[in-house]
Structure 1
Amino acid sequence: MTTSLTLTRPQKAAAILVAMGKPAAGRLLKFFKQEELKALIEAARMLRTIPQADLEKIVAEFEAEFTEGAGLLDSADKMDTLLSETLSPEEVSAIMEGRQKKPDTGPLPVWPQVEQLEPMRIGGFLAGEHPQTGALILSKLSSQLAAQVLLTLEKPLRSEIMKRMVTMASAPQAAMRLVENQIRTRLLDGSSSKDTSTGQARLASVLNEMDKTQLDEVIQDLEAVGTPDLAGVKARVFSFDDMHLLSQKARVLVFDGMSTDVITLALRGAPEELVEAVLSAIGARSRRMIESELSTGSEGIALADIMQARKTVASATVRLSREGAFELPGAQAAAEAA
């Protein structure tokens, strides 16, 4: 009879795992290294049955608590069952053969990639598709992105798509595969239409860190050297000095909930037109407080603090535009030019 005194450490560990049962042992197996799992399997295959008394001695050695009902165990068979029900056949095979599971060479999922695209790019794609296809695609996107895409579409197409979204049932798998293939080849495939939106956004984020004078100078330099896709960059650029170019509704959204201290600091030394544009977008009480502060002048206030406050306002404006709350003046100008 095999006793606890003649068992190796892997054999003892295998006996305890089998005694624990599938739910608890299955959770523990995930923490073992590949070499350790292989050793456990090989150790279990060397075991036959373990009397209850010997099993309790093993458990005591590991200082673990053992519940009733373990009985006599066929360790090898139980370990096979335990592994087969907690690991995939490929994982078990990889453990025993000493190799890793082969990576999946199939195409990447479509929808997570689409979620990373600019709403305008997706809207341009949908403009050439049937409204039913548009409704299917939007139904697969997050609510926030779908709303932003809808706002880029012409009203007739937007209405047709939304009407179909209301009555749309689940699409057959064959139809879904066709749509996903079209998206992969026509919207995501860089060889068919190079997506420069990421680069445009990256450059715009750098330019948005500059003040108005620096920004205008750099834009002129970029125009002089013939920078490609510069219109897309301009559409994403915004400085505090452009605040008066936003619509009243957009300015209200920007300053809603913003600290009056930040607003006051940003307005110090600003042109009268800009001051009025900002103050007209906030509540009467806050306006009176800010006007009172501004009347004391800007003496003793560091220019760096003023510029930082203006960057804070500009950053909040850019963030809201990216979320689809409104368009920046640059984007509006680009749309009108087109």
Structure 2
Amino acid sequence: MNVANLQRTGARKTKATPVERRLSGPQKAAILFLCLGESRGSRLMQQLDTEEIQKITRAMSSLGVISAEIVEKVMSDFTEEVANGSGVVGSFTVAENLLRSLLPEDQVETILKDIRGPLKERDLWARFSALNENVIANYLKKEHPQTIAAILSNVKTDVAAKVLPLLGAEKMQDVIERMVRMESVPHHMMKQIEETIQSDIINSSDQPTTAELYQRMADLFNKLDRPALDAVSAGLEENIPDAFASIKQKMFTFEDLAKMDPLDLAKVMRGVAGNTLPTALRGANKETRELFFRALPGRSRDMLMEEINAMAPVRRREVREAQSAMLDLAKTLAEDEVVRLPVNDEDQDELF
């Protein structure tokens, strides 16, 4: 478009786009894509699924002339939404979903393998720290004080604080002095310590405890189709009543997500990709849906409600898969200590 055309375009009145015009979610997204420009906009478009691309494309083709004032308002609203929502959520699950939407499976697996690699050592220390302090202390008592100092320097401080007194006053003082004076442990020595811990303690504790087994079954039941679970529930209650009752207490359902702190729930909602959130809420009961809406700022809530109302009918399987994806993300974020999951009253006094 030449300068004359630009001038004529600027001189025309934009009757179709007054400031008070109400824009839909896809229309606002289309405006943001236009502001990004063809190059950056197309790269971002690659991260969306086919349905989202169709919605935005349809909205973009019917926008007409958009005044600078409306463009500024849309961008301002977007900035405010991010600010009110305390930013965005990053996690391994979110990164994996993004990669799988952009790259072939073999490339995704290669990248994820590289990402997971450095986490192995931290995973070992996390698992070691999760052991009972008496188990850790009994294992360390036979080790040299310098080795004990190196090990306790890698576990969580609250765990080390519980373990040290169990070593005895004299050895505790010796170990603490070594921890204070400790410099960087040579890599080959640290590797040997980690390999010994892996073979002596971690591998021997790989068999799941009863609590771990019940949690696995609870996770399985959460993902099982509701009619299938209902079909076996009566038999389980009759044959293994105590075990089944314990498993049901550990089940974390989609409705339980609504019991989360609103800020934490908002983080989960922002972390899912594509149309996962509207699909999951489309199949939720009215009370649960309202609790989800309350966790969002006003504009985000209106856009989500509008998107849900505009959706075509969804299958029960699609709803179940979407809700399951949100549950998985919530558990991942909880493991990363980004959010906290609601605790059942029955769990408050549970002993381990």
What TM-score, normalized by structure 2, do the two folds share?
0.42
Q: TM-score, normalised by structure 1?
A: 0.44
